[in-house]
Chain A
Amino acid sequence: MTTKLSVEHLSAFYGPKRALDDVSLEFNDREVTAIIGPSGCGKSTLIRCLNRIHETQPGARAEGRVLLDGADIYEQDAVEVRRRIGMVFQKPNPFPTLSVYDNVAAGLRLNGVRDRNAIHVKVVESLRKAALWDEVKDGLMAPGVRLSGGQQQRLCIARALAVDPEILLMDEPASALDPIATAKIEDLVFDLKRTYPVIIVTHNMQQAARVAERTAFMYLGKLIEVGVTRELFERPKEKLTEGYITGRFG
């Protein structure tokens, strides 16, 4: 298990308000790590710091280090970091004015790729990886927003995969979806982890239990416990963790 991403003493702020408190954590390659915790515990903030989206919000900043393959992403070009670390958001957000095809191609085109064949190959490959190809192959030019919620989310996953990220971040990707669509996303994560390390934030503990090899529990901005999922759910070390996962609070 090689360490792909390493978080060291990360703290994050929205203006004066501290949302993350000295978090240190490691994420392994070809593995799914879930981050769970009650609302407001900082899990979304954490994941948004990992691809430097957090700081795009006015007034937001972060302190500490995040090492991708050993190099601190906060000392590199933010745009390049974001290309290497992909993200899927809670509410599916395909670009409203673009077709299905153009949505997936957007990342490539906007990064300067001109070769139409290369783009086409990548679009088809990404749609296949996102398990969406069969459903859209006859309607690639339809507006992206005409798809169902679950399909839109898979479209967003395809869009993120098209730029060949090294890590995939998912911020509660299935929370806006019905159970069938959720299951499809989980199956997708199961396939994707063969190629990419996946970090998934979820408020659904059973989902974390189903998809993740390792799980981290956060509360009030602090990392409380992290470990092999099976261990965390069968014999958690911290009382706080036990209280949350047995549903006694949160």
Chain B
Amino acid sequence: MRKQGRRRRITNAAMSAAAFACVIIALVPLASILYSAAVEGGKAIGPAFFTQNEPPPCSPTLQANCPTGGIANALQGTLILVGIATLIALPLGILTGIYLSEYGRLSRFGAGVRFVTDVMTGIPSIVVGIVIFAIFLLVAQAGWIPLRYVTSATSGIVALTVIMTPIVARTVEEALRLVPTTIREAALALGIPRWRAILRIVLSTGKAGVVTGALLAVARASGETAPLIVTAGGSFFGFAGFDQSIAAMPLLIYVNGLSGVPNYVTLAWGTALVLILIMLGISLAARLALHRVLKGAGAAR
């Protein structure tokens, strides 16, 4: 008996150690990314970083006099692209999520919408970008819009919206499904029309999930590079109109990071660091919001 006990204890300890080791191994790449970004990106951060636009390329021979520049235009570009896309995707996604959860649970149409939404969350973002590009091109070739719209802030916003909406829709649907039916029935039993019950009670009860969904979608959109390559296009300048190309942070990282030009590379690292910090911030905000809502409502006995 005692031998069995000891063997069990050894096995326990061995498994715990193995699991712990796996965690360490999994964390190594993450740690190295954070470290590199912090070290390299830290070099670039300074007041100019946030206020100046992307500098023109600088030849290596003139390195000493290269203007460092900043990411002001890229920051502005990302804000505009993601901001406006959010303004469109959020209501669209929430309404779709509401439909899927409240009206379309059993209907064939609902099942269809759900399927399409699921598929769309999985489409590689480059594909989305190419398709939007192609559509805009076709429409421009047909003469309905000027050609310059094909790579512009507008097409960039459209691409991001297409990426974000399914995410919001699915997350909202899941969040609303978690609201117990009895809450819905209690609201209906008070003699309220269904749509009002959904908006005021169900949505409010599931708002933790809705907020999480929104933040997730925003985080995803902020980091998307591929679709923006073929739609927004990138630029050295600030916002010049919805029919013009526009800069964006991920684009900056992609183009500058691979350019080999030292000041560009530094700029790219700085942008990467800023993006990581933004992502961290959004994750934290989502977690905090969830925690606060759960603390208030979930502490029921």
> Do the beta carbons of B185 and A89 come within 8 Å of each other?
yes
> Do the beta carbons of B300 and A145 come within 8 Å of each other?
yes
> Do the beta carbons of B191 and A82 come within 8 Å of each other?
yes
| Partner pick for B189 among A111, A148, A149, A160, CB 8 A cutoff | A160
Interface string of A29-70 (1 = CB under 8 A from B): 000000000000000000000010100101100000000000
User: Do A80 and B191 contact each other (CB < 8 Å), given the known contacts A58-B106, A89-B185, A93-B182?
Assistant: yes
> Do the beta carbons of A163 and B183 come within 8 Å of each other?
no
> Do the beta carbons of B188 and A56 come within 8 Å of each other?
yes
> Do the beta carbons of A111 and B205 come within 8 Å of each other?
no
> Do the beta carbons of A53 and B300 come within 8 Å of each other?
no
Contact of A227 with B by CB under 8 A: no
A172 vs chain B, min Cβ distance (A): 13
Q: How far is the CA of A170 from the CA of B204 in the complex (A)?
A: 26
Contact of A87 with B by CB under 8 A: yes
A57 vs chain B, min Cβ distance (A): 8
In the bound complex, residues from chain A placing their C-beta under 8 Å from that of B297 are: 96-97, 143, 145
Interface size class of B (residues with CB under 8 A): 20 to 34
User: Which of A110-134 touch B at CB < 8 Å?
Assistant: 110-111
> Do the beta carbons of B180 and A93 come within 8 Å of each other?
yes
Contact of A18 with B by CB under 8 A: no
User: Do A95 and B205 contact each other (CB < 8 Å), given the known contacts A89-B182, A110-B200?
Assistant: yes
| Partner pick for A97 among B185, B296, B301, CB 8 A cutoff | B296
In the bound complex, residues from chain B placing their C-beta under 8 Å from that of A58 are: 105-106
Contact of B187 with A by CB under 8 A: yes
Q: How far is the CA of A158 from the CA of B254 in the complex (A)?
A: 61
Contact of A4 with B by CB under 8 A: no
In the bound complex, residues from chain B placing their C-beta under 8 Å from that of A236 are: none
User: Do A93 and B186 contact each other (CB < 8 Å), given the known contacts A84-B191, A110-B196, A149-B301?
Assistant: yes
A96 vs chain B, min Cβ distance (A): 4
In the bound complex, residues from chain B placing their C-beta under 8 Å from that of A89 are: 182, 185-186, 189
Interface string of A156-174 (1 = CB under 8 A from B): 1001100100000000000
5 contacts between A and B (CB under 8 A): A53-B189, A79-B193, A96-B183, A97-B205, A110-B187
Which A residues contact B (CB, under 8 angstroms)? 51, 53, 56, 58-59, 79-84, 86-87, 89, 91, 93, 95-97, 106-107, 110-111, 143, 145-146, 148-149, 152, 156, 159-160, 163
Given contacts A89-B185, A156-B186, 5 further A-B contacts (CB under 8 A): A83-B190, A93-B182, A96-B183, A148-B301, A160-B189
